[in-house]
Amino acid sequence: MSQPPSITLHVPEGSESDGQEPSPDNERALHTSFHQLILEQSSLIEAGLELELQERSRESPARLATPDACAMAWSEPGQGEEHPSYSSASLQILASMPSRTIGRNLGAIISQYCNRTARLRRRSSRPPLQQLCRAARPSLRQYDLETDPTRATLEEKRRLLVKELLSLSPSQCSHMLLTMPLSLAEKRILRRQLSGQRGPLRQHTHHWAPFSPCGWPKVCIVLPWHYALKQIGGRFGSSVLSYFLFLKTLLMLNFFSFFILLAFVVVLQAVYPPASVSPQPFTGLELLTGAGYFTHSLLYYGYYSNATLNDPCTSSPPGSVCPLAAPTLPYNLPLAYLFSVGVSFLVTCILLVYSVSRSFRESVGSSTGDLAIKVFCTWDFKVIQRRSVKLQCENICTQLKVQELGSAEHPRPQPCMIALSIAPLGPAAVQRDKTLLQTQSGSGSSATALLQELLVEQRSRSRSQSRCQCLGHCVVMLLAWVLALGLVSGCVLAVHYFSGHMHMVQQEQQAQDSGRWQQEAILLVVPFVVSLLNALMPHLFNLLALWEKHDSPGTQVFVAIIRNLILKMVVLILLCYQWLTRSVICSTEKCWETCVGQDLYRFMVMDFIFTLMDTLFGELIWRLILEKRLKTKQRPEFDIARNVLELIYGQTLTWLGIVFAPLLPAVQMLKLLLLFYIKKTSLMRNCQSPSKPWQASRMSTVFITLLCFPSFLGAAAFLSYTIWSVQPSENCGPFRGLETIYKSGKSWVLVLEKSNPNITWFAWVYQHLLENTCLLFFVSVALIAVIYFNIQVVRGRQRVICLLQEQIANVRQEGHGTPGAGPAEATETKYLSNENRLQELGLFSLEERQLTGDLIVSKEVSEDGLGSAPRCPAKGQEATGRN
């Protein structure tokens, strides 16, 4: 597959420059040689430039500055800069340095891909660095291909491309063909030529399965709801879709927890069932309360035994001596229980952190509200419904208006810093140093503020005229927050006293020995009240927001999210407190862990029921009212924020209950599955897409962070507290008779040490490293240091980008300096050499043009590096190195 790089050298001009490259050691020498190369080339390609120049100068002199086919050839010698001491990643970047041109004409595309193929081949064959220095200089050849129309006809270019393609492996070749922006007919011609020279390509097609749709069926099976998600995206755009994607993420997280617990705990306990209590009859109410029939089942903590499962002694009474030896592989259920829960939390944590970081990376670019991106990258081509298309248009229109007004008033951000240290960029740049100091163009593109911020700023500016109004607004805001917090604390107090009261009532009922139905129904009251509060309070908060009159829809959404989150979290904290202190939990002789599990189950079920009710009343009935009574075409909007918060709340309940009810993730999965279909149906029938502008990628980052930070971390803290310092029940569950759950692990280590002296080191590690706070301290310090380091790297890259942007701006200002050249002059200068002609026209000198191209590319590279910081430190270093 890997051929020697000889093919790159068979071009006519290639041999000339081979010997001339001094392969310099420092940047300065490098650039001189670079310069030489340019001069040398300029004599070779006069004809091409002439043509180009004529046509160009007729239009506008500034146009010469574009890195199009011609400029590209000039900046191409940047590849000669490759230095033996650079890493291969840097070399690759340098090899792709010249700015690209696509879409000119068929010939240009073919020749460009020809070059790209050559590059690909070189990369895949990986010659030693010394060789690469020479081989990676296809500049002359490329120039030839792109600008000399007489020599390289279309047919010839095609032939060259085929030749290049032939040297690739079949899979690479097919992939290359696939990615080319050529029409199908053209591709078929190429392929016919290819197969003519190499024999039929067909047998290789399966090699590139991962690139082709043919390789996708497996993936498509794994991805559930593919079609449903597309349908939603098609009708409502990516904002509503983000809710469903979030739901899918949750489902995946639960699936992993569920799978781990199922495999290592539940199934084994089911295979070795403990001596069972006679089960209560199934009535049906259990599905709601989780009590009764379910109490002694795999669903709850209390059912699990503390025995070693395949130990024959367990069946005999605890006092008797066991005659048989222990089995070779004892399965200690308490340990399995502890570790499975721990591992499932760990897996969830890793998945969460991964998705948070990915979503951050995705949204890092979008957070700057570039107008250009708004214009070109907001149209959702998926949307095919007339109403949604109209809505999208309106959305874009308002966004543009807001942004444009904002940026019109917004003062230009100060240029970050004047670039002083661009000397290594080359002789041209050295000359520019002085001018750089003098001229500063606005880097308007670098920092356009966020849409909302702009609006807020704009409004606040208009407000600042009347201080009274401003003060009034502040007072209103303050009052609203006080009111909201007051409401929240009121709710919490109410829940607290109410649950105490209900506990008393329940005890009485039990004492009176009233019917089971009644007893169980009473259990449902507290979850009902909590869910009711959770359902009603958001509407109250919305009323508050109406009163507040927030400046921008963005702030409004965030304030609503924060308030709802506070409410939900405070109520959950109260409940956790009540569970752990066992103040309102079932009587002491019963298993309190099971009671907590049941409580959580009830909360989840109630939450689900309320979501259904909300869907029914808030969406279906409301739509019917709107349609039948008010005769409007409008439909209820799908409130993404509220719905996502509900999901987060449900997930927190699941995480809290994982120790007390190992099958809770399964219940949650079931709930999510049902929710998906119900919400989807309701959405399709009843709703319209939200009218507020909604930045999908940014909001999903916020949501996944919320899921990670208060929800998951809170649940983890709660569980760690339970495991480390709460005494488990005396007479039920896998940890009965222990002081804390954590002790089971500790005692196991001791047993292990005793039984097998060979692994004392393990006990030592456990005692000295895991239990040692000092080590934990050092580990956390190291982690923080790594994070700090990463932040600094990102910041450094931002600074580099900033500098590069300024340099680009400056170089281009230089180019605009003397725009006096007209078409008449162009004909006169036809006979001069290229360099002189450019000077005559008062345009960029060749170095400058090349510099601009390179600057743009290095900026791109640094931005790339910023976007995917952990992946390619080499890129960032490269960009810094060039400064």
C-alpha 579/C-alpha 575 separation (Å) is 6
C-alpha 683/C-alpha 235 separation (Å) is 10
Angle at 261 between CA 255 and CA 265, to 5 degrees: 155
Structure token pair of residue 65: 């500055």
User: Which of 183/583 has CB closer to another protein?
Assistant: 183
User: Which of 190/675 has CB closer to another protein?
Assistant: 190
What DSSP string runs through 266-299? IHHHHHS---PPPPPPP-STHHHH--GGGTTSTT
User: Which of 597/815 has CB closer to another protein?
Assistant: 815
User: Which of 40/370 has CB closer to another protein?
Assistant: 370
User: Which of 389/529 has CB closer to another protein?
Assistant: 389
What DSSP string runs through 426-473? -HHHHHHHHHHHH-----TTT-PPPHHHHHHHHHHHHHTT-HHHHHHH
Q: Are 495 and 574 within 8 A, CB to CB?
A: yes
User: Which of 384/785 has CB closer to another protein?
Assistant: 384
Question: Around Cβ 754, how many Cβ atoms within 10 Å?
Answer: 10
Question: 3-class DSSP state for residue 797?
Answer: helix
* Residue 524 DSSP class: T
**Tell me, what amino acid is at 445?**
S
Question: How near is the Cβ of 866 to another protein at its closest, in Å?
Answer: 10
User: Which of 672/857 has CB closer to another protein?
Assistant: 857
User: Which of 8/172 has CB closer to another protein?
Assistant: 172
User: Which of 65/659 has CB closer to another protein?
Assistant: 65
Question: How near is the Cβ of 794 to another protein at its closest, in Å?
Answer: 16
Question: How near is the Cβ of 769 to another protein at its closest, in Å?
Answer: 42
C-alpha 821/C-alpha 842 separation (Å) is 7
User: Which of 703/735 has CB closer to another protein?
Assistant: 703
Question: How near is the Cβ of 420 to another protein at its closest, in Å?
Answer: 22
Structure token pair of residue 401: 């208006």
Structure token pair of residue 297: 């089942």
C-alpha 530/C-alpha 610 separation (Å) is 10
Report helix angle 427-438 to 27-44, nearest 10: 100
Residue pointed to by tokens 């740049």: 429
Question: 3-class DSSP state for residue 654?
Answer: helix
Question: How near is the Cβ of 359 to another protein at its closest, in Å?
Answer: 9
User: Which of 13/52 has CB closer to another protein?
Assistant: 52
Q: Closest Cα to residue 580, out of 721, 479, 745, 740?
A: 721
Question: How near is the Cβ of 228 to another protein at its closest, in Å?
Answer: 9
Helices within 312-439 (DSSP H only): 333-363, 371-376, 386-409, 427-438
Contacts of 459 (CB under 8 A, 6+ apart): 551
User: Which of 389/752 has CB closer to another protein?
Assistant: 389
Question: How near is the Cβ of 101 to another protein at its closest, in Å?
Answer: 6
Report helix angle 640-656 to 714-725, nearest 10: 10
Question: How near is the Cβ of 131 to another protein at its closest, in Å?
Answer: 29
C-alpha 692/C-alpha 125 separation (Å) is 52
User: Which of 40/453 has CB closer to another protein?
Assistant: 453
Contacts of 255 (CB under 8 A, 6+ apart): 665, 669
Backbone phi, then psi, for 637, in 5-degree steps? -85, 150
Q: Are 858 and 804 within 8 A, CB to CB?
A: yes
Question: How near is the Cβ of 39 to another protein at its closest, in Å?
Answer: 23
Beta bridge partner(s), residue 332: 308
Question: How near is the Cβ of 449 to another protein at its closest, in Å?
Answer: 13
Question: How near is the Cβ of 232 to another protein at its closest, in Å?
Answer: 12
C-alpha 759/C-alpha 753 separation (Å) is 6
C-alpha 553/C-alpha 398 separation (Å) is 12
Question: How near is the Cβ of 879 to another protein at its closest, in Å?
Answer: 15
Question: How near is the Cβ of 214 to another protein at its closest, in Å?
Answer: 7
Question: How near is the Cβ of 445 to another protein at its closest, in Å?
Answer: 4
Q: Are 662 and 302 within 8 A, CB to CB?
A: no
Structure token pair of residue 784: 């923080």
User: Which of 176/664 has CB closer to another protein?
Assistant: 176
Question: How near is the Cβ of 151 to another protein at its closest, in Å?
Answer: 23
User: Which of 393/493 has CB closer to another protein?
Assistant: 393
Angle at 104 between CA 103 and CA 106, to 5 degrees: 85
Question: How near is the Cβ of 801 to another protein at its closest, in Å?
Answer: 11
Question: How near is the Cβ of 173 to another protein at its closest, in Å?
Answer: 11
Residue pointed to by tokens 């009052």: 479
Question: How near is the Cβ of 186 to another protein at its closest, in Å?
Answer: 9
Structure token pair of residue 289: 């309360």
* Residue 365 DSSP class: T
User: Which of 595/699 has CB closer to another protein?
Assistant: 699
User: Which of 13/453 has CB closer to another protein?
Assistant: 453
User: Which of 663/843 has CB closer to another protein?
Assistant: 843
**Tell me, what amino acid is at 12?**
P
Beta bridge partner(s), residue 308: 332
Angle at 623 between CA 618 and CA 626, to 5 degrees: 120
Burial bucket for residue 407 (CB in 10 Å: 0-12, 13-18, 19+): middle
Q: Are 882 and 424 within 8 A, CB to CB?
A: yes
User: What distance separates the 2 farthest-apart alpha carbons in the chain?
Assistant: 113
Residue pointed to by tokens 């068929």: 106
